[in-house]
């Protein structure tokens, strides 16, 4: 496990590591010790220019290749990621604080899944023939050009892959800016794509905070922006992209509901609530942080939830594979989460488990459960992005659905019931981009993922993502002479 996680340089541009120490230093802080474990510099205007210029040049050659050859590069990159999964997972665990037991199965590997999936689709992307009586038309599916990807800090490698894979499969180039909190994983992806045969410049990584992202979006060479981040950032990025009439994908925050009906398998519902609130220490966009539990099973549900948190959580060094619960990514995130826990107490929610910082080094917050939460409480309305689960009571289905929908967010939702007709009926009424029945937070690459309302625009994964990284050219073919009125 003694991998040196320090990158060769801050950026990866035109096929190689690039440094420019004139950029603002960005320390990489280990969430378990609070120590600086690496340092990168924000991209200067010169680095940004090289990244965009080399991406523009590489895109033209890449788009001219046989699609199946493009797909083969992506599939080779997936194979390299799988071979190097342990090394990449250790890197991800050190960058984010997430336990290795998670990163080994859910981070780089899910990125490899996307590269495999879109690598396989690359050769199947076509237009269509449209009969028009005697005349006819056809469509050509074309790439957009240079795309910008901007990432959040909770799944750094997965996010980079989920954006790069469909973009490159469609014949685009990408300049990716990781979150300034977790800058390392995307650099590895850039190296691996080159090793797999991608032309230099096709996938560049530049570091920095919002201003670097804003500079990329403002550039006229950029055709599309795909952001994973919070709703406030999404609104700013969407507005900036609209000013340049650019395509967007917005993967934003949520305050998702899980509805647990009296007829549900309680143990399974508790499992879903744990998975949907405490995996990655609660730092997952689609988490089901508002758990609506029907009154008949509420006390049993709470009892089992508290028991399983008491006996099941193993907190500790993320690199110890027995650990299943890590710290918050940063001190700042820990303070935000602790502030919400305090608000929950102040506003009268009943604390069932956790409730504060853990007495150990690092940014650990105990898995926290509040019961008797009402719809108007701050912890029921705002995205916390940490391990805080709110249990809300309900009596009847229509009331639960109306309350579940009464939010500006619409990323995801879950339903636990043994009545499958009810499961489908409720899902049809929920305003959310991704729903699960008797499961939670499973996001296989085959299934489109994304939000409605303020939670996002567009979809990642599934064949649907292709629509967001390509455009159609329509061609009308006349079989006879042209006809004019005069």
Ligand X SMILES: C[N+](C)(C)CC=O
Ligand Y SMILES: NC(=O)c1ccc[n+]([C@@H]2O[C@H](COP(=O)([O-])OP(=O)(O)OC[C@H]3O[C@@H](n4cnc5c(N)ncnc54)[C@H](O)[C@@H]3O)[C@@H](O)[C@H]2O)c1
Give the binding site for ligand Y (CB under 6 A): 150-155, 177, 179-180, 209-210, 213-214, 217, 228-230, 233, 236-237, 251-254, 285, 383, 385, 411, 451, 456
Angle, helix 231-243 to helix 210-218, in steps of 10 degrees: 20
Q: Are strands 173-177 and 146-150 parallel, antiparallel or unpaired?
A: parallel
Contact between 286 and ligand X (CB under 6 A)? yes
Q: Which of ligand Y, ligand X, none interacts with 443 (beta carbon under 5 to 8 A by kind)?
A: ligand X
Q: Which of ligand Y, ligand X, none interacts with 236 (beta carbon under 5 to 8 A by kind)?
A: ligand Y
Which 140-169 positions form the footprint of ligand X (CB under 6 A)? 154-155
Whether 251 is catalytic: yes
Q: Which stretch binds ligand X (CB under 6 A): 169-177, 240-248, 282-290, 328-336?
A: 282-290
Shortest CB 153 distance to ligand Y, Å: 5
Shortest CB 320 distance to ligand Y, Å: 25
Q: How far is CA 477 from CA 131, 140, 330, 482, 486, in A?
A: 10, 13, 59, 11, 22
Q: Which of ligand Y, ligand X, none interacts with 229 (beta carbon under 5 to 8 A by kind)?
A: ligand Y
Q: Which stretch binds ligand X (CB under 6 A): 216-224, 280-288, 345-353, 367-375?
A: 280-288
Q: Are strands 456-457 and 16-18 parallel, antiparallel or unpaired?
A: unpaired
Contact between 455 and ligand X (CB under 6 A)? no
Give the total of residues touching ligand X (CB under 6 A): 7
| Ranges of H-type helices in 98-255 | 100-106, 108-121, 156-169, 185-195, 210-218, 231-243
Q: Which of ligand Y, ligand X, none interacts with 104 (beta carbon under 5 to 8 A by kind)?
A: none
Degrees to nearest 5, angle at CA 290 with 427 and 443:
55
Q: How far is CA 43 from the centre of its chain?
A: 23
Cβ-proximal residue to ligand X, closest one: 285
- Of residues 149, 326, 161, 344, the one with CA closest to residue 250: 149
The two structure tokens encoding residue 387: 């391990």
Contact between 409 and ligand X (CB under 6 A)? no
Of 417 and 454, CB closest to ligand Y: 454
- Our CA dihedral for 255, 261, 267, 268, rounded to 10 degrees, sits at -60
Is residue 337 within 8 Å of 328, Cβ to Cβ?
yes
In sequence order, the β-bridge partners of residue 2 are none
Question: How far is the C-alpha of 166 from the C-alpha of 125, rounded, in Å?
Answer: 11
Q: What is the SS3 string spanning 427-481?
A: HHHCCCCEEEECCCCCCCCCCCECCCHHHEECCECCCHHHHCCEEEEEEEECCCC
Shortest CB 96 distance to ligand X, Å: 11
Contact between 384 and ligand X (CB under 6 A)? no
Contact between 436 and ligand X (CB under 6 A)? no
Write the binding mask 114 to 133 for ligand X: x where contact by CB under 6 A, - elsewhere. --------------------
User: Which position among 92, 102, 180, 251 bears the catalytic label?
Assistant: 251
N- to C-terminal Cα distance for the chain?
79
DSSP string, 267-289: HHHHHHHHHHHHGGGG--TT---
- Of residues 337, 329, 409, the one with CA closest to residue 366: 337
Of 153 and 292, CB closest to ligand X: 153
Write the binding mask 164 to 203 for ligand X: x where contact by CB under 6 A, - elsewhere. ----------------------------------------
Of 70 and 468, CB closest to ligand X: 468
Phi/psi-derived region of residue 391, left when phi > 0, alpha when psi is between -120 and 50, beta in every other case: beta
Contact between 443 and ligand X (CB under 6 A)? yes
Shortest CB 366 distance to ligand Y, Å: 21
Q: Which stretch binds ligand X (CB under 6 A): 21-29, 79-87, 231-239, 279-287?
A: 279-287
Of 50 and 383, CB closest to ligand Y: 383
Shortest CB 284 distance to ligand X, Å: 4
Q: Which stretch binds ligand X (CB under 6 A): 174-182, 194-202, 284-292, 344-352?
A: 284-292
- Of residues 272, 311, 283, the one with CA closest to residue 99: 283
Q: Which of ligand X, ligand Y, none interacts with 466 (beta carbon under 5 to 8 A by kind)?
A: none
Q: Which of ligand Y, ligand X, none interacts with 153 (beta carbon under 5 to 8 A by kind)?
A: ligand Y
Residue with tokens 């320090």: 6
The residue ranges that bind ligand X (CB under 6 A) are 154-155, 284-286, 443, 449
Report, as residue numbers or ranges, the catalytic residues. Answer: 251
């Amino acid at each position: 496990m003694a991998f040196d996680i320090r990158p060769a340089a801050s950026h990866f541009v035109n096929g190689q590591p690039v440094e420019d120490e004139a950029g603002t230093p960005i320390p990489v802080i280990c969430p378990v010790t609070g120590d600086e474990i690496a340092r990168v510099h924000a991209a200067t205007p010169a680095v940004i220019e090289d990244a965009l210029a080399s991406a523009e040049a590489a895109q033209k050659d890449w788009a001219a290749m046989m699609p199946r050859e493009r797909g083969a590069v992506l599939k080779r990159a997936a194979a390299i990621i799988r071979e190097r999964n342990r090394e990449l997972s250790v890197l991800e665990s050190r960058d984010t604080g997430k336990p290795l037991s998670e990163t080994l199965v859910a981070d780089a590997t899910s990125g490899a899944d996307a590269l495999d999936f879109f690598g396989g689709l690359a050769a199947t992307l076509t237009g269509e023939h449209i009969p028009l009586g005697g005349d006819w038309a056809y469509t050509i599916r074309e790439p957009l050009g240079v795309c910008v990807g901007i990432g959040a800090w909770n799944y750094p490698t997965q996010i980079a892959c989920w954006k790069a894979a469909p973009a490159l499969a469609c014949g685009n180039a990408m300049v990716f800016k990781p979150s300034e909190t977790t800058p390392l994983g995307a650099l590895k992806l850039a190296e691996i794509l080159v090793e797999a045969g991608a032309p230099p410049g096709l996938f560049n990584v530049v570091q920095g905070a919002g201003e670097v992202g804003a500079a990329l979006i403002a550039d006229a060479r950029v055709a599309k922006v795909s952001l994973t981040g919070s709703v406030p950032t999404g609104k700013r990025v969407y507005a900036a992209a609209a000013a340049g009439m650019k395509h967007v994908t917005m993967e934003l925050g949520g305050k998702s509901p899980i509805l647990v009906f009296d007829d549900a398998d309680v143990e399974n519902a508790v499992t879903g609530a744990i998975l949907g609130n405490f995996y990655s220490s609660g730092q997952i966009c689609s988490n089901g942080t508002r758990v609506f539990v029907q009154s008949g099973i509420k006390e049993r549900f709470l009892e089992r939830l508290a028991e399983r948190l008491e006996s099941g959580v193993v907190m500790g060094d993320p690199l110890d594979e027995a650990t299943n619960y890590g710290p918050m990514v940063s001190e700042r995130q820990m303070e935000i989460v602790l502030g919400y826990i305090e608000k929950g107490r102040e506003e009268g929610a009943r604390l069932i488990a956790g409730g504060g910082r853990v007495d150990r080094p690092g940014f650990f917050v105990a898995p926290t459960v509040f019961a008797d939460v009402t719809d108007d409480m701050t912890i029921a309305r705002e995205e916390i992005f940490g391990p805080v689960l709110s249990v809300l009571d309900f009596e009847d289905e229509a009331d639960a659905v109306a309350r579940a929908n009464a939010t500006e967010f619409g990323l995801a939702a879950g339903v636990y019931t043994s009545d499958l007709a009810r499961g489908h009926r409720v899902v049809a009424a929920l305003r959310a981009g991704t729903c699960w029945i008797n499961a939670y937070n499973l996001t296989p690459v085959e299934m489109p993922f994304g939000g409605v309302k303020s939670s996002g625009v567009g979809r990642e994964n599934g064949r649907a993502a292709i629509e967001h990284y390509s455009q159609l050219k329509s061609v009308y073919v006349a079989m006879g002479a042209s006809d004019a009125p005069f």
